[in-house]
Structure 1
């Protein structure tokens, strides 16, 4: 279950706008927010992936409020590519790594700014320092995303990891002026997939109980380490979804793909 779910109100819950226990209703009993997350394993999971929302664009909008309601693209000239785009531009179809000429056809009224990597790196360091205040187990993936393992931190923070993470997101908004999304799961693979489910300002949980079914419908390309070459091999062998791999014989997978075919499923 993810942000905003209200089914199963008896399940452990968290308000994303005040990081408190929301009670059993559809709105938080403390602040009235409908932005709630409920999950049976909410207070048991401790591995998270934090991913800032449209990071470069968010920083530029923070620093120039006149850009708040305008489509914004960070990238090079007409022959360059899109580094990132705000969510207004994304609604129009603009995506990272898209050629700029194509992005401008989709969103001709967009404001285009060159990336300011020095500024972005400074904000990235600020966010990283906040993460390290919560746990030493921070594994950066890029300037604006990282894994965090909050195992064993409940006594220190007097809260389960989910609530500690919600407080961190509120702090990022208040002190840094940007938003981020969280994926919470039993392992890094699931946490990274979860963080992308409900962007922006998402907080998605994938527990152990539903991990197999959650993965089943996803394409094999979603698996870490499956690049274009292996992806084409899998497709040629009729393996299009993770469910296809789950049903396949492990011995056959090992013969075809070596050690990769023996990876846990």
Structure 2
């Protein structure tokens, strides 16, 4: 029998908002949201703001209605990326098997780790302490035998906590877990499950695979497996990069074409810089426009040869802009390059040997 893997999911607590509160002590203890305002969308909310029901992706106007004294802060994505890299460097001191999901969360496979530590629980605790000591920010962690369980566990004792789901306790844990807490089950699916009298893992486990696939298609197989603690996806440290994108959300909406073209030139230069650093080229360029009313327009152009530089991006973006169906104030512009020259990347795998007795 193959030994269990030891997977950690690290999730920073209210990352963007916490960075702002750390860098600006006068914001600590107050309801803060990053992004939003009357015309924007909340990118992150502090825990003080969440008490008022404010969540990420909520329209800023709604957030201000829920909390009139909400403090709205302009995003500083370069700062968030800088701290995210600091945190990622800590991860790599323990394992090369790191799969970032975003700036503020990642999976780590520590079955075999650089420190030779037996306990994944101790590794997670040590990493969280390192993050706090070096950045002043808190993180939560989940530890278990696969990515699904680790992800569920990391949300269990937020903020600034951690939970281990031991392999001997997986089934009993899953049986009492509310269906809304299953990673991958959103509000719409949860509501449908409620209509089918599925409210927790025990209810889900009573359904056959045929029933679940009949109701939910291929996702039914996923639900059938995860409620039994089965999730075979490995931590993938070397994902094949399929696109490179630059997006900018504007504090004040862009009202005229001159302003749009000025921003498209800046985005084109930023995109060129990112591509050059990674030695990447691509053949498909996509323009993304989000308007004041949150409607989105995208249009792409693919050519037989690789785009070469910022001027290429800019000239193509101008032509794509002309294809838009209407004129409205613009709140976001983005350019992304796909159909890349990255090729196939070989996945890293490990031989699993460490027994699980010292998981805690």
Same fold by TM-score, threshold 0.5 exceeded? yes
CA distance in 1, matches of 2:92, 2:216: 38
CA contact (8 A) 1:80 1:99 kept: yes
Report deviation, 1:179.
0.6
Report deviation, 1:106.
2.4
- Matched with 1:16 is none
- Matched with 1:50 is 10
What's the C-alpha RMSD, in Å, of the aligned pairs? 2.4
Question: Which stretch of the first structure deviates more once superposed, 238-247 or 116-125?
Answer: 238-247
- Matched with 1:165 is 124
- Matched with 2:97 is 137
**164, 170, 185: which one pairs with 1:211?**
170
The number of equivalent residue pairs is 221
Report deviation, 1:256.
4.8
Within 5 A, what are the aligned runs for 1:97-246?
97-153=57-113, 156-158=115-117, 160-226=119-185, 231=190, 234-246=193-205
Report deviation, 1:148.
0.7
Structure with more of its chain in strand, by fraction: 2
Question: Which stretch of the first structure deviates more once superposed, 50-59 or 208-217?
Answer: 208-217
- Matched with 1:93 is 53
Cα deviations by residue, 1:92-140 (Å, 9 ceiling, x for unpaired): 3222122212222222222210111111111111111111111011111
CA contact (8 A) 2:37 2:64 kept: no
Q: TM-score, normalised by structure 2?
A: 0.56
SS for the counterpart of 2:160 is coil
Distance 1:71 1:252, change over 3 A: closer
Distance 1:165 1:230, change over 3 A: closer
Q: TM-score, normalised by structure 1?
A: 0.74
Q: Which runs of 4+ in 1 moved over 6 A?
A: none
Question: Which of these two proteins has the greater Rg computed from alpha carbons?
Answer: 2
Distance 1:229 1:164, change over 3 A: closer
CA contact (8 A) 1:45 1:161 kept: no
Specify every segment of 5 or more residues in structure 1 that has no aligned partner in the other structure, as ranges.
Answer: 1-43
Cα deviations by residue, 1:14-69 (Å, 9 ceiling, x for unpaired): xxxxxxxxxxxxxxxxxxxxxxxxxxxxxx97211100001011111111112122
CA distance in 1, matches of 2:74, 2:119: 40
- Matched with 1:79 is 39
CA distance in 1, matches of 2:183, 2:47: 26
Specify every segment of 5 or more residues in structure 2 that has no aligned partner in the other structure, as ranges.
Answer: 229-360
